[in-house]
């Protein structure tokens, strides 16, 4: 029976070889006759694309996620689509990513959507909302709660196709040169903080300074700003923020689960065959999961090092400060939602999903965290 199986397989192999030879000879013959190839082999077109990012070159996790997407696409496509990644400032400014992809100067960009609030306020809801959804909730909303469809609709108006492509989890509230003991300490405070969180701080009397990652440390060190938030212990240590300020505050009320994005020029994306589109989508999903796992794994060790070896004082924001920030956040987000129809539509979806999901979170994740303390 083994011999018959072997001979059968050999026969199939010989047949396949014969068919391949016949196809090749037909193609060659028709090409010689000026008729073009007889058989079109799908997926032979190759694409050389550029991806720009808002992160410093070689930046851990955020920049690595961009590189990971490029590598995964290259491997899955067997080299049919190659993507070269550029750090912030290498090809375009860190905050010029949206325009570069929209205009078609490059095909891809990796960033965070709250940077584009000046172009469309609604973009902010796809990155982070103060006192909003955490990583689990925002991921569920995007993938299964209608968030992605709204994101697609919004970005299509700018000639873009967006994908979730990373999540930081809950961040830290930031680094402060002086202690924060009351809401009065926020008045006049100059702080690097983007997105809706920045608008909340402004409502509390602070001054918002929007800076790219590479500019945060020198500004904090020289006293150009009084405080700065970036991501969390792993990234913040890498930027050296602990050398410029020693008061490290939590919780990250402004960014409880920040989604990073991959945006693709829609015309370029629509021109791809379906299998390559799917590969890009899968590579982004991989980066989304990997980023959250990597930061969760790295932040704990980095925090221990900052406290034990660098004299960092980890402090919790006082309750009255958190209450004030929460009130201001509700007012701010409602104002943004009322500013244009797109923002209203996105925020209504966001809020409805959060309110419904909170009921489950209260008896699942939050109940479990409480159980650990009793």
161: DSSP letter? E
152 and 107 share a domain? yes
74 and 186 share a domain? no
194 and 272 share a domain? no
248 and 262 share a domain? no
**Is residue 283 situated within a structural domain?**
yes
185 and 246 share a domain? yes
243 and 117 share a domain? no
244: DSSP letter? T
CATH of the domain at 157: 3.40.190.170
98 and 135 share a domain? yes
263 and 155 share a domain? yes
CATH of the domain at 220: 3.40.190.10
Sequence-distant (≥ 6) Cβ neighbours of residue 341 within 8 angstroms: none
Give just the sign of the alpha carbon dihedral 306, 310, 316, 321. Answer: negative
Q: Residue 260 in 3-state DSSP?
A: strand
Beta bridge partners of 315: 249
**Is residue 222 situated within a structural domain?**
yes
115 and 244 share a domain? no
What pLDDT is recorded for position 44? 61
The reply to whether the predicted model has a pTM over 0.75 is: yes
Secondary structure in 3-state letters for 295-328: HHHHHHHHHHHHHHHHCCEEEECCHHHHHHHHHH
Contact between residue 233 and residue 112 where contact means Cβ atoms under 8 Å apart: no
Contact between residue 255 and residue 171 where contact means Cβ atoms under 8 Å apart: yes
How many CB atoms are located within 10 Å of the residue 225 CB?
Answer: 25
**Is residue 110 situated within a structural domain?**
yes
What pLDDT is recorded for position 56? 87
Q: Provide the domain limits for residue 246.
A: 174-254+312-353
Q: What's the CA angle centered on 348, arms 347 and 350, to 5 degrees?
A: 60
**Is residue 221 situated within a structural domain?**
yes
**Is residue 6 situated within a structural domain?**
no
Q: Which of 132, 131, 128 is nearest to 325 (CA)?
A: 131
261 and 244 share a domain? no
How many CB atoms are located within 10 Å of the residue 224 CB?
Answer: 13
Report how far residue 97's alpha carbon sits from residue 105's, in angstroms, rounded to the nearest whole number.
10
Q: Helix, strand, coil: what percent of the chain each, to 5?
A: 55, 15, 30
**Is residue 218 situated within a structural domain?**
yes
162 and 231 share a domain? no
**Is residue 19 situated within a structural domain?**
no
User: What is the total count of domains within the chain?
Assistant: 2
E strand segments, the chain: 47-53, 81-86, 108-111, 160-167, 174-176, 190-192, 207-209, 227-228, 247-250, 259-265, 313-316
User: What is the residue-level pLDDT of the chain in tens, covering all 374 positions?
Assistant: 443 443 343 343 443 344 344 334 434 443 444 433 333 334 468 999 999 999 989 899 999 999 999 999 999 999 999 999 999 999 999 999 999 999 999 999 999 999 999 999 999 999 999 999 999 999 999 999 999 999 999 999 999 999 999 999 999 999 999 999 999 999 999 999 988 999 999 999 999 998 877 899 999 999 999 999 999 999 999 999 999 999 999 999 999 999 999 999 999 999 999 999 999 999 999 999 999 999 999 999 999 999 999 999 999 999 999 999 999 999 999 999 999 999 999 999 999 999 999 999 999 999 999 999 99
What angle do helix axes 341-363 and 135-144 make, rounded to 10 degrees?
120
233 and 283 share a domain? no
Report how far residue 340's alpha carbon sits from residue 136's, in angstroms, rounded to the nearest whole number.
28
**Is residue 204 situated within a structural domain?**
yes
Report how far residue 43's alpha carbon sits from residue 78's, in angstroms, rounded to the nearest whole number.
10
């Amino acid at each position: 029976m083994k011999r018959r199986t072997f001979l059968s397989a050999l026969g199939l192999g010989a047949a396949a070889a014969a068919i391949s030879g016949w196809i090749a000879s037909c193609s060659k013959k028709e090409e010689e006759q000026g008729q073009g190839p007889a058989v079109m082999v799908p997926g032979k077109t190759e694409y050389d694309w550029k991806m720009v990012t808002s992160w410093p070159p070689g930046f851990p996790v955020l920049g690595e996620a961009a590189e990971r997407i490029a590598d995964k696409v290259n491997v899955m496509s067997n080299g049919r689509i190659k993507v070269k990644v550029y750090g912030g400032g290498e090809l375009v400014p860190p905050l010029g990513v949206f325009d570069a992809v929209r205009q078609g100067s490059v095909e891809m960009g990796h960033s965070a959507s709250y940077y584009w609030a000046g172009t469309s306020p609604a973009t902010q809801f796809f990155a982070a909302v103060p006192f909003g959804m955490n990583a689990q909730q925002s991921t569920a909303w995007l993938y299964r709660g209608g968030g992605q469809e709204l994101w697609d609709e919004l970005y299509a108006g700018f000639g873009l196709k967006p994908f979730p492509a990373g999540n930081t989890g809950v961040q830290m509230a930031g680094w402060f040169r002086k202690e924060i003991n009351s809401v009065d300490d926020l008045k006049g405070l100059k702080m690097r903080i983007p997105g809706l969180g920045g608008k909340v701080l402004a409502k509390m009397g602070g001054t918002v300074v929007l800076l790219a990652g590479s500019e945060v440390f020198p500004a904090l060190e020289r006293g150009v700003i009084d405080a700065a938030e970036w991501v969390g212990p792993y990234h913040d240590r890498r930027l050296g923020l602990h050398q410029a300020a020693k008061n490290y505050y939590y919780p990250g009320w402004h960014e409880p689960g920040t989604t990073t994005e991959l945006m693709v020029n829609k015309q370029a994306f629509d021109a791809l065959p379906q299998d390559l589109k799917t590969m890009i989508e899968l590579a982004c999903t991989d980066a989304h999961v990997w980023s959250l796992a990597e930061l969760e794994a790295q932040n704990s060790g980095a925090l221990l090092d900052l406290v034990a070896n660098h004299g960092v004082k980890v402090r919790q924001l006082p309750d009255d400060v958190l209450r004030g920030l929460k009130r201001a956040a509700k007012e701010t987000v409602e104002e943004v939602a009322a500013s244009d129809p797109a923002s209203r539509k996105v925020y209504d979806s966001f809020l409805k999903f959060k309110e419904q999901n909170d009921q489950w979170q209260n008896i699942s994740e939050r109940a479990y965290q409480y159980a650990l303390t009793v």
